[in-house]
Each structure stands twice: as structure tokens, then as C-alpha cells.
Structure 1
Amino acid sequence: MLRQLHSLPGLIAALLVMLLAISGAMLSVDPALERLNNTSTAIGQVNVGQLAGRVSSHFPGVEQIQRTASGTLIVYFNQDGRVGAEKVDPLTGRGLAPYEPSAFSRWMKDLHRSLFLGTPGHGVSGVGALLMLMLSVSGALLLVRRVGGWRNLLRPLRGDFSQRWHAEVGRFALLGLLLSALSGLYMCATTFDFIADGSRSEPAFPDHISAGSASPVASLQALQATDLTDLRELVYPSPNNPQDVFSLRTAQGDGYVDPVSGALLSYQAHDSMRNVYELIYQLHTGEGLWWLGLLLGLCALGVPVMSVTGILIWWRRRQAGPNIRHNSAAQSADTVILVGSETNSTWGFANTLHEALHQAGHRVHSAAMNQYANDYGNAQRVFILTATHGDGNAPASASQFLARLAEAGLKPGQPFAVLGFGDRLFAQFCQFAHQVQEALLQAGGTPLIGLETINRQSSQEFARWGHAVGEVLGHDLTLIHTAQPPRTHQLILVERIAYGEQVGAPTHVLRFKASGTLPAFEAGDLVGILPPDNPLPRFYSLASSSQDGVLEICVRKHKGGLCSSFLHSVEIGATIDAFVQPNPQFRPASGAHPVILIGAGTGIGPLAGFIRNNKAHHPMHLYWGGRNPASDFLYEAELNHYLADQRLTALHAAFSQAMDRSYVQDRLISDALMLRRLIEKGAQVLVCGGREMAKGVMLALDEVLAPLNLNVRTLKAQGRYREDVY
């Protein structure tokens, strides 16, 4: 609903909103230009009487003196039949330059305020301001949901080019657009008298003036009592009307001045509504606040960018929407796939699963989770593929699922499997998938396999899940799906270091250089490598950063492994196709707190990269497990060098095929006292390696932390325990 509230007005009114924004941005420059071109000298303690006297000596036919919001003084005069206007110096009254209002600015103001349509046009502009307000508020709420709460509003944003630019520009322009929209609505409301602006509170015109000849204007007491900084306008009496008076408008109120006695004949102070109107007018136009005008103009320039990117996002979402072929009826299907998606990207994975099951002979029905109705009479299994939106919330197409499940129930013992999609950067990673899993268990369902999660739409993790599902179903299930084809770069292999041949676990450290320009990367980021004739990328954790000058990975050759076999066969000087994928959630936190690095096998790659870049010599303790110290002690020479120069504080290695056979978990238990001290000092734990190793490490650390009334789950919630497991 919130997304529809945001996108529908944007699509309908894109042209109108862009027109108002662009014209407003161009007008926003006027106050700054006026301030820049204001050649008046400092006014000091000049009062209006002094100014009027000085002006009269240079402009005998003066009719009006006006002071703009920026402080420019303009004299309008009629001298010898010549009508003119000039900017004047308040200290001398001399003309500085002719005053010629910009015809372009007048044209632009008419366009911005009424679209050249007069009073009806003011109404159209008001509708545009209302739409802008709706877009700003709904956009802000969507952004908050996307980043996981107000506290994360300034965190780095992710997504494709259009998504990032749309959100980044919106985040920058939000406050300015809200101010412009609200003030514009107020101005429109005063135009149609929905809100009083105080302009009708005018002083009564005097019935008579003092008899006699007019006094010199500089001597008039009411004008002498008015500071020049308060002046808005002084209109002189008509020379042909002896009963006419001076009309004085100031920042505080308006009045009439007797040209003979100099007395203030009548005066009307501005009421609160007038003061509010003038404040809001100033906030909307920037007149008198040139810096605010420029800021509002910059914000307004973001509207065309957001309009174009927003339309692109909407179009891509429509293109990425469900297009399910061979979709069986819900009542006759033996397999049901329910999808929870915010941007439709999860539907791509669901479509791949649907087609694979159909090819395997199943009758499959796919639908959004919000369409759940428990009318799957022949369903032997239900798959739920769901994303999590924002701070653990349900995505758009699953917002009603839990309520529908509670109302309609679930067939007793219904087999099901939940697959969650999310981003480990968020604290509530795949939280909604966990809620769905728990709700299905409470409703009496039976899990086909345990809940699995996919980080950042990983094709590799999705394929692995498909193999696990295939084993349960009793037939092969190959799921190959890449959310968006990545832009690849050519990498040239420049160095290879071989380990592990003697123990039957060949492992190579491979160093590449790019044939072109690579995006910046850090140790712990991922490189996706496309093996020949296969569209499914395999991901490897990087052991280097851009500043190292190479892209380094550590790869063990697996029996039957397509990509690992390919990489082990690449010759020095040969090229491969690859792309870099950021992984900012897996790297040491900034600061001087200790870091505990734990890994096994090739999981040492990014950990070695962290140590290599620890040039500030913060405490780093490495726990790593291998097979045999004589054959596969990965990075041994480099780690000893880091121990010597204190980039590495301590190295604790365990080898499963050595004389004292041990695993990395054993090292953690034996160093429990020291680890507790490090944790008490605020240490962060980074774990990289296989899933089974990671599970063993969690159990070992829970045992180590028990005397502190802590566990791994608590450290994860604090952001002090991060994993990169495969």
C-alpha cells in the first residue's frame, strides 16, 4: 500500500511535479543574484527620514522608495516626464544603476505560480505541491523501511544504479522538498482564502491632514523614527492632491504619515496571520535568505533525477513481475510455491524453482503469499520463498500472510520448506522468513528441510538449496538463477602458490591483475567467477584489497568441482571473467578493539587480508585449522612475517593430521581464559570457512563465554560476531 501511494502520484504527476521543481529551482537563484548584485554600501544607523531627504536631492520627482528583502533600495521617479527606477546608495541617495526587473524571472514566476492559467493555474500548482508532499512523506517512510529504521537512515545504500540514485537524491532533498511542498500548499490556500494571510488588516485612511505647506521630508518625525532596516515601502503623496499623505509599510506594520506635521496619522500593526504569511513566504522563496533559496533550489533539482529513476524502477519492477508458465490450478497442484517479494526480485528465483519442478513432472501452482487460502487439496508440499523488508518486516506481497494463515489454518502435517532472502548487512537478516517458519510449525506443518537463507540473492546458495530439496524429493533438482547478469571484468593470472598436494587436498593461492579498471574492493569482499560455458557464478572471498595491487583468492580443488577445477588449470598469463561483489558486513570494525579471527582451510584467505592491512597494529589473534603443517599451512611465511612486524598479535594453528591431532575448536577451548579477557575488552569475532566448522566454533565459543553470561547469539546482536561461511 505504501509503495502504491508513493509510485502512483509520481507516475501520474511526473511532468507537473518536474515542471514546478525546475521552475522553482531557477527562481531560487534570484535572491542570491540580487544579494550578489546589491552594490549598496552599509546602511549604518540611517533612518527613513534621512534616506528620503538624500534621495529627494537627487531625484526631485521621486514617487516611491522600496527596500527589497535582500536590502536593495530602489527609487521610482517621474522627472521631466521621464519615468524611471534606479538602485540607490542609502548613505548618499545617489543612483547606482538603473533597476530593470528581469523579464525572464517574471515569466518564470508566472509559470511556477499559475502555469500562465491565472487563478485556475494557482489551483493546479497547489495540486502539484500536494502531490510533492505525498511523494516526500511516502518516500521517506519507504526509505526508512528499506534501511531498517530511522536510526539507519544515513547508512550506505545498496541496489542497482537507479535504486541508489533515487534513494540517495531523495535522502539529500527530503527536508527541502517537504519545506517547499508545505509552504507551497500554504501559499495556495491563502490565494483561495482558505487561510487568512492578514493582508486585509490595513490602517484606516485619515480623514484630514494638517493645514499648511508640506514639511521637508527629512524632518518628518514618523519617518525619522523608522529604522531603514524596517522599511518595506514608502509611497510619496501625489503632487496634485494636497490631501494626500505618505504611505509607509514596514516589517512591523503599515501606516500613513502627515506630510505637514510628520505625525503618524494611523497605524495598523501586522497581526499574527500576517507574520506567519511573511515567514512562510520567505521560507518558500528564499527572499532575504539567499542561502536557503540555493539549498531549496538544489533540492528541487533532485526531483527530475528522482522522477526519471523512479520511472525506471517502476518499469523494471513491472518487467520483473511474475510471469509463471505451466501454472497449475491451486486445487490440483501437488506442489505449491508461495512468494513474498517487495521488488519482485524473489519471483525470479520462484520462477526457476517452478520450472525445474515442472520439468521433473510435478504439477506446480505459484502465487503471492497474500493469496494463501488453504485450498490446496492435493498439495504434497508447500515451498515458501520470501524476502524480508526493512527492519524485519514482511514484504509487500506477504503483508497479509500471517493473518491469513491464522484465519485459514494449515492442513495437519502439511510438509513445507521456507527459503529466506535477505542481506546480512541488516541486523534482522531474513527475520520475516523466521517468523513464517515459526508460524507454520505452530499451525501444525512438518518441515521438509530446515529453514535456509540466501544472502544478497546468491546464485550459489540457491543452487545448493535446490540440491538439498532434490535429495528430499528423490530426484536431481538443478536451480540456476542469477538475479541480474553482472558486468564482468577480465582478470589476468600473475601468480600461483600451491599447497596440499601431499594430503590430497590441492589448494592454490591465486593472484590476478585486472586488464582494465576494477571497482574498489576490500579484503572480505567477494569475487564472482564465471566458469566457461556456465552462467552460474561461484563466489570466493577476497584475500586482498585494491591497495594491494592484485586480486587474491584461495581455492581448494574439489572433486567434480567445475569452477575450482577450472581455476586450478588456468595458466599464468591467461584470463578469466569475474566481477566484484561488496561484502561490507564481513570486515573488522574500525577502532582499536581486539579482533579474533577464526577459520579453517581456504577460509584463511580474507583473514590473511585483514591482517595484511592491519598497519595500525591493532590486536589481532588468528585461530586457523588445516590438515598437515608440512603440506597445507596456507600463508605460513606471510603470517610469520606479520607476527614479526606485529600486524598479527598471536597465531594459533591446529592440524587434523598432525601428531597432536586437533581442530580449531580445540584451540578455542584451551585458550578460554584469554578469549574471555579479549571479549571483555570489546573484541570482535570474525569467522570464515565451512558451515560445519562454523557450527563447531559457535558451540565452542558458547562454552567459553558461559562464565561471562554471554553467548554467540548475544555477540551477533551486538554486531561483534560476523561470519562468512559456505
Structure 2
Amino acid sequence: MLALLALSGAALSIFPAAEMISSPQADPAASVAELATRIQSAIPGVEQIRRSPSGRITAFWFDKGTPGSAVIDPETGQAVGSADPNQVERWLTNLHRSLFLDDTGRLVSAAGAASMLLLSVSGILLVARRTGGWRRWFSPLRGPLAGRVHVELARAAVLGLLLSSATALWMTASTFSLLPDGPAALDQSDASGKKGAALSAMPLLAATPSDDLRELTFPYPDDATDVFTLKTDSGTGAIDQGTGQTLGWVDLTAWERATETVYMLHTGRGASLLGLLLGVMALAVPVMGITGLAVWAAARGGRPPIKGNASPSGADLVVLVGSEGGSTWGFAATLHAALTKSGKRVHVAPMSAFAPGRTRAAQNYIMLAATYGDGDAPACAKGFLDRLAALRAAPSAPVAVLGFGDRNFPRFCAYAEAVGAAARVKGWETILPFDTIDRQSPQEFARWGRALGQALGIPLELDHQPVAPRTTGLTLVSRRDYGQDVQAPTAILRFALPRLGFLQRLLGRGFARFEAGDLIGILPQGATVPRFYSLASGSRDGFLEIVVRKHAGGVCSSMLTGLQPGRSVEAFLRRNPTFHPPRGRKPLILIGAGTGIGPLAGFVRANDSLRPMHLFFGMRHRDSDFLYGEELAHWSSEGRLASLATACSRGSHPRYIQHVIARESAALAAAIGAGAHIMVCGGREMASGVAETLAAILEPMGLSPARLKAEGRYVEDVY
């Protein structure tokens, strides 16, 4: 219903602008007396003249008992077009106002407006929570496309939706006489009973500009006691038809002015550009409906159901979750079930919903916090640290902080550590010392659970069964092998895109839409934790490509580097929007070593706009592991790659990528000064060396890698 009301409202917003463009406009210097004289000369039987907010002048008359009407050219007073209402506009108006159900339909439409108002207000609060507070209302978003589109549209359209829904409710209340907006009574008892005064001799008509006219009603021809009635933007007056004198005047009441302003704001009549803008904003409603359903469905699929989740106010133990991919929610569900079984009333919520005022009965808090990227907060924990810092004092109920991560990453459980440190600074009493879980280990979680149970004085056994992600079979179609000569077997593996259903394509689910820099997760047989690889291709390339190096003892890398064309693996897609090239034409500085070339090559491959891209690539030996060597030469000739600098750590002149960066310091400084973005992919030691080298280059400019990261101009994908 909201989509129907929004689309019909958007269509109606076109008519006021079209009417203003097509209607002859009166001279602003002309008076109502001059305008009425011209029309009366052309149409002797005229009985009423109206001016719409668009400036269109319409005359109404009776000719031998037959009513007539026409659009008037105010310069000549002649009829220039039919005044009959546009049938499409009338049909849309009836649909929009009442759904063709008269008063019942008006009430239904009003209920829709009330729903839109509630959704807008609650949506504002949800966007603020997702972005981490009002100060970050316009901060960049990450996550699935549907969620980002939903929030971006909400940001752009919410003020218009608030205005449209609130004015619709006002107009409904006015229609049903629920507002005191009726006009004041006009006394015309002093009429002379004479006829014949010239319009030009009536002071009120002569003093009123035609732009202020709303309606001029002529007296009934056979009634000498009848009067001229003039309605303007400021009030209503009565004029004696015999003497031309003003018999009375009443100003518009405050309620009348308010109602007319509301009518103008809602319909766009009198403010056609605003009407068109509100119409465009209304178009966001059906799109937000679709993306909202997609977000809802993804949330249900990504989080396990929390059965018997206690209300915030009634819980004696609160579990707050910070998760990016959804796996930490599974641990929260296991913990909730065990604590509930032991007799606790447990409330589970995202860390972004942290509000001690709503959980006053809580006796304990437990934080289960994963880490995103380079120590950042996961999506559902944004704003938590700010909320904690803003408290006058820490909650009286003690807290336990448990971090989830992978020790292979350089910032293992960094966000959880930041939460624990902030709690200590705030003086928040702890139930247990800070602890971590590596690679979603059920055994480590069970150990921590026993310690928690002992601290709470209850038996607590956490038997967590990881839920395997839904996977899709990917068939290898080709492979290219490198690195055998330098004892670093590496392969570029290209997989065929899986067949997709219509709904997947429509919603962009699964492998329907992805970009270079996104991740695929591969779960080796018998393993419980997936391994992730950066994509070197996008969905528009028509294939899925990754670069894998075989690691000693690596189960997944050994499986992949031994895979032959025609064989398949089970995989799933995970978005990684923070490692996508930003939009625009600013230069990109791409830095990678070894398999880190994968997503960077994907960025160059997709550079159809020929944006300046400068690649720094480190390898062991040019003859053995120059990954994408032929493609890079081809992309350079096409203009997709502006420059390429390489470093080989083996051979006659060994050097690392940071040495090449130092050599090109002047060019890099110029590019960064011009607004270039830096993207680094590869091993953590390489990334650390690159950051140190860049720090020396940036220091004379008053910049640093940390500052560029804060500005979103320096991103890493390291392992």
C-alpha cells in the first residue's frame, strides 16, 4: 500500500510543474481590476475568476443556462484552452487520496501515511545506530549491497517522507473537520442595493495585484443585494456592486494559513519544484521496501534464532554481540541456551544497541566481540565505544569480554581488546579477565564457558556446534602455475560461475554480484573453519578467479593448488566492500606482493574508465612468479594501468617492494598530494614495511598512514 501511495504521489507531483509551464502568466504589475475588466469584456456573462497557485487563470460563466469554463490569457482576457480537469490527474488523485473508496479509503490512506511517519522516525534512529551515532550520520557504509542501498536512500529521502506523511495526516484531519480551519464570517449587510459600478472604480480590486488573486466571484445578475466576493492570499473581502466600496474584510485565520501551507507542501501547488523533489523522494519507498525485505531475509539467514530471548528490562544477564560475518551470533545462541537452561533470564542484542538505561535489572554483561579488518568494529558494534565513553559511570553490573578472531591476522582480536581496555578505563568491574577464541574453536569456547560458570556460581557447559555456511559448487576451468623454481608453488585458479536462479539474479544473492576484492570462503573437508581468498575478478568478467600459494601443512592451500580443471570445490561468497576502489577519478596507488596481486589485478582489469592506476608489485623472481605478467603488459597498452614498478627479492639485484616505493617517493608524494588513494594487499610483514616507508614519504607533507586510513584513503587487506 505504501508503494502504491508513493508511486501515485510521485506521478501527481508532475502536474503542478506542467501546469505552471503551460499556463499563460499574468503581468505581476496588473491589478485584479484590470484583469477582471479584460475578462468581462471578452466574456460578458462571467460569474467567477480563479487563479490557481501555478498562476493559471480560469473563468466560469453561464450562457443561456449552460455552464462554461476556459483557461484565460490574462493579457487579452480571451479563452485559450479548456478548463476541464485532466482525467489522468483526476484518476490518480482519487487513487492517492481515497483508493476509490471515498471516506473509508481516505482513512486507509491516512493509516498508510501514519505508517510511513512511524517508519521514517524509527528509520532515522536505526540509521543513527548503524552508523554509530548522530555525528556519523553520513559516514561511509559497508556490508551487503541491499543494506547499503536501503540506508543511502533513507538518508536522501527521509526528510521528504517525513514531510509528505505528516502533511497527509494534517489534510485528512482537515477533511474530517478535526481542525478549526474554517473561514471567519464576512458581514455584507450594508449593501446599497444598487448596481453598475465599474470594476476599475472598485478600490479593493484596483489595489490588489493579480498575483494575490485566488478567486473573484461576481454578484448574481438578478440580485441587487448580492456583492462581489474577493479572496486573496491574505483574506476575503466583500465589495458593493453599486458603489464599488469595500463592505468588509476578514484576514485568513492562523489555522487557514497553516492548512494552506500544508496543502502547498503536500501537493506542490504553489511550490512545484518542491513538489517534484518530494515526488523523487517518494520513489525511494518501493525500492526501500524491496531492499528492506532483502535485509530482513539476510538477517534471518545470517543469525541463528535466539529462542526465548528475554526483554531488555526483564533480563538479569545481557549478552552483547559484535559480529561481521554472523558466526559470533552462533556462539551467542549457544551461550544463551546454556545460561537460560541454568535459570538465567538472558537478553541477546548487538553491541550497537548498548543502552544500560534499558537493562537496569542486569546483574552481568557479557561482550562477544569479533574484529573487522585492521582492528575496526564489526557492523553491529559501531558506536559502542562512543556510547561507553559517554556514560558518566560504568554500569554497576560486572562485565566479561571475549574476543573472536584468527591468529593468522596481524590485528588478532584488536577490537575486542579495545573494548576491554575501554571498560578498564571506565572502571567497569569484570567477571573474568579478557580472553580470546582463535578460529572459532569450540574447545576454547567450552573452556571459557566453564570459567564463566564458576565465576557466576552455576554449572555451565557450552557445547557449540558450528553451523557450516551454505556453499555452492565451483568448477575449475583453467589454472596457471608459477613459483616452482623458488620453492613457492603458486597458481592462478579460474572457476566457472555457477548457475543462478532468477531470484538470486534479481536480488544479487550468492555469486550473482561480486567485485574484485571480495572474498570467497572455502571449507576443506573435515574442517570447521573456512579459509578466505581475495577475488581477482568481478561478476561482470564472467568467471571467478583467485591466486593461491601452497603453504607447508596448509590443508586448504594444498587442496586448491592440487585441483585440476574439471574438478569442483564448495565455496561461499563474502562481501568485502572496504577493499573496493573508491568512486571517482582520483589516482589509485596499488601495492602488493606475492598472491596479494590478485585483487589488485582485478581492479586494473575492471578499469574501463582508464582511471590513473599505479601498481607496485613484489615477487621472488621475475622468471618464476611474475603473476599476471602478460595481462599487465596488455592492460598497460590499453591504458588501464598507468604505470608498473616491480621488485624481485631473489636474483642478482635483490630488493623488496618498499625499496621501489622509496625510489619513487617524489612521484608518490605528488600523487598523494593530489588526493590519491592507497590500497595494499599481501603479507603482514610486507604491509608493515610499506607503511614505514610511506610514513617517511608522508611526514614532510604533514601526513601519515594513520591519518590517511582515518580519511579512508589508505586501506589494507593483509594476512
**TM-score w.r.t. structure 2 length?**
0.70
Q: Which of the numbers 646, 671, 684 marks the counterpart of 1:651?
A: 646
Shift of 1:74: 3.4
In 2, the alpha carbon distance for the partners of 1:190 and 1:382 equals 51
SS of structure 2 residue aligned to 1:261: coil
Shift of 1:523: 4.1
In 1, the alpha carbon distance for the partners of 2:668 and 2:81 equals 78
Shift of 1:548: 6.7
SS of structure 2 residue aligned to 1:175: helix
In 1, the alpha carbon distance for the partners of 2:20 and 2:666 equals 69
Query: For residues 339 and 707 of structure 1, do their structure 2 counterparts lie closer, same or farther at Cα, with a shift above 3 Å needed?
Result: same
In 2, the alpha carbon distance for the partners of 1:171 and 1:242 equals 60
In 1, the alpha carbon distance for the partners of 2:528 and 2:405 equals 23
Shift of 1:263: 3.2
Query: For residues 282 and 571 of structure 1, do their structure 2 counterparts lie closer, same or farther at Cα, with a shift above 3 Å needed?
Result: same
Deviates more, 1:432-441 or 1:136-145: 432-441
Q: Which of the numbers 167, 181, 192 marks the counterpart of 1:209?
A: 192
Counterpart amino acid of residue 488 in structure 2: A
Match of 2:594 in 1: 601
Shift of 1:545: 5.5
Match of 1:408 in 2: 397
Match of 2:157 in 1: 173
Match of 2:715 in 1: 722
SS of structure 2 residue aligned to 1:349: helix
Match of 2:452 in 1: none
Match of 1:565 in 2: 558
Shift of 1:167: 3.1
Match of 2:53 in 1: 69
In 1, the alpha carbon distance for the partners of 2:611 and 2:288 equals 44
SS of structure 2 residue aligned to 1:585: helix
In the TM superposition, what are the counterparts of 1:642-721 in structure 2 within 5 Å?
647-655=642-650, 685-691=678-684, 693-694=686-687, 712-721=705-714
Query: For residues 604 and 215 of structure 1, do their structure 2 counterparts lie closer, same or farther at Cα, with a shift above 3 Å needed?
Result: closer
In 2, the alpha carbon distance for the partners of 1:671 and 1:548 equals 32
Shift of 1:507: 1.0
SS of structure 2 residue aligned to 1:558: coil
In 1, the alpha carbon distance for the partners of 2:423 and 2:574 equals 34
Counterpart amino acid of residue 248 in structure 1: L
In the TM superposition, what are the counterparts of 1:363-382 in structure 2 within 5 Å?
368=348
In 2, the alpha carbon distance for the partners of 1:96 and 1:668 equals 73
Query: For residues 624 and 521 of structure 1, do their structure 2 counterparts lie closer, same or farther at Cα, with a shift above 3 Å needed?
Result: same
Deviates more, 1:231-240 or 1:689-698: 689-698
Match of 2:616 in 1: 622
Match of 1:525 in 2: 518
> Are the equivalent residues in 1 in contact too, given 2:146–2:295 (CA < 8 A)?
yes
Question: 1:216-255, CA deviations, whole angstroms, 9 ceiling, x for partnerless residues?
Answer: 5566554454443332111121233222211111234322
In 2, the alpha carbon distance for the partners of 1:350 and 1:86 equals 73
Structure 2: runs of 5 or more not aligned: 310-316, 372-376, 450-462, 501-510
- 1:340 paired with 2:321, answer yes
Match of 1:349 in 2: 330
> Are the equivalent residues in 1 in contact too, given 2:618–2:657 (CA < 8 A)?
yes
Shift of 1:282: 1.0
Identity of aligned residues (%): 36
Shift of 1:116: 0.6
SS of structure 1 residue aligned to 2:484: coil
Shift of 1:262: 2.7
Shift of 1:723: 1.5
Q: Which of the numbers 368, 373, 382 marks the counterpart of 1:392?
A: 382
SS of structure 2 residue aligned to 1:407: coil
Question: 1:680-726, CA deviations, whole angstroms, 9 ceiling, x for partnerless residues?
Answer: 78765433223455456556766887888876444432434321122
> Are the equivalent residues in 2 in contact too, given 1:341–1:395 (CA < 8 A)?
no
In 2, the alpha carbon distance for the partners of 1:538 and 1:190 equals 62
In 1, the alpha carbon distance for the partners of 2:404 and 2:66 equals 83
- 1:446 paired with 2:446, answer no
Q: CA RMSD in A?
A: 5.6
Query: For residues 25 and 668 of structure 1, do their structure 2 counterparts lie closer, same or farther at Cα, with a shift above 3 Å needed?
Result: closer
Shift of 1:259: 1.7
SS of structure 2 residue aligned to 1:136: helix
Match of 2:453 in 1: none
Shift of 1:419: 2.6
In the TM superposition, what are the counterparts of 1:405-554 in structure 2 within 5 Å?
406-409=395-398, 417-419=402-404, 434-436=418-420, 438-439=422-423, 443=429, 445-449=432-436, 464-466=439-441, 469=444, 480-481=466-467, 485=470, 488=472, 493-494=477-478, 496-512=479-495, 514=497, 522-528=515-521, 538-544=531-537, 551-554=544-547
Query: For residues 271 and 100 of structure 1, do their structure 2 counterparts lie closer, same or farther at Cα, with a shift above 3 Å needed?
Result: closer
In 2, the alpha carbon distance for the partners of 1:128 and 1:395 equals 38
Shift of 1:128: 5.9
In 2, the alpha carbon distance for the partners of 1:101 and 1:610 equals 52
> Are the equivalent residues in 1 in contact too, given 2:592–2:681 (CA < 8 A)?
yes
Query: For residues 170 and 619 of structure 1, do their structure 2 counterparts lie closer, same or farther at Cα, with a shift above 3 Å needed?
Result: closer
Query: For residues 240 and 193 of structure 1, do their structure 2 counterparts lie closer, same or farther at Cα, with a shift above 3 Å needed?
Result: same
In 1, the alpha carbon distance for the partners of 2:610 and 2:544 equals 22
> Are the equivalent residues in 2 in contact too, given 1:136–1:174 (CA < 8 A)?
yes
In 2, the alpha carbon distance for the partners of 1:605 and 1:526 equals 11
In 2, the alpha carbon distance for the partners of 1:356 and 1:497 equals 49
In 2, the alpha carbon distance for the partners of 1:248 and 1:677 equals 70
Counterpart amino acid of residue 393 in structure 1: G
Deviates more, 1:576-585 or 1:503-512: 576-585
- 1:229 paired with 2:211, answer yes
In 2, the alpha carbon distance for the partners of 1:320 and 1:30 equals 45
> Are the equivalent residues in 2 in contact too, given 1:622–1:650 (CA < 8 A)?
yes
In 1, the alpha carbon distance for the partners of 2:264 and 2:325 equals 44
SS of structure 1 residue aligned to 2:558: helix
Q: Which of the numbers 292, 299, 304 marks the counterpart of 2:274?
A: 292
> Are the equivalent residues in 2 in contact too, given 1:31–1:287 (CA < 8 A)?
yes
Match of 2:82 in 1: 97
In 2, the alpha carbon distance for the partners of 1:106 and 1:673 equals 65
Counterpart amino acid of residue 419 in structure 1: F
Match of 1:3 in 2: none
> Are the equivalent residues in 2 in contact too, given 1:87–1:99 (CA < 8 A)?
no
> Are the equivalent residues in 1 in contact too, given 2:586–2:676 (CA < 8 A)?
yes
> Are the equivalent residues in 2 in contact too, given 1:254–1:270 (CA < 8 A)?
yes
Query: For residues 189 and 101 of structure 1, do their structure 2 counterparts lie closer, same or farther at Cα, with a shift above 3 Å needed?
Result: same
> Are the equivalent residues in 1 in contact too, given 2:385–2:422 (CA < 8 A)?
no
In 1, the alpha carbon distance for the partners of 2:232 and 2:513 equals 59
In 1, the alpha carbon distance for the partners of 2:697 and 2:250 equals 79
> Are the equivalent residues in 1 in contact too, given 2:548–2:557 (CA < 8 A)?
yes
Query: For residues 665 and 258 of structure 1, do their structure 2 counterparts lie closer, same or farther at Cα, with a shift above 3 Å needed?
Result: closer
In the TM superposition, what are the counterparts of 1:109-148 in structure 2 within 5 Å?
111=98, 116=103, 129=113, 131-148=115-132
Question: 1:45-71, CA deviations, whole angstroms, 9 ceiling, x for partnerless residues?
Answer: 765445444544565544322222233
Counterpart amino acid of residue 409 in structure 1: P
In 1, the alpha carbon distance for the partners of 2:668 and 2:198 equals 91
Q: How many residues align?
A: 660
Question: 1:425-476, CA deviations, whole angstroms, 9 ceiling, x for partnerless residues?
Answer: xxxx985772245426964643444xx8xxxxxxxxxx834389489889xx
**TM-score w.r.t. structure 1 length?**
0.70
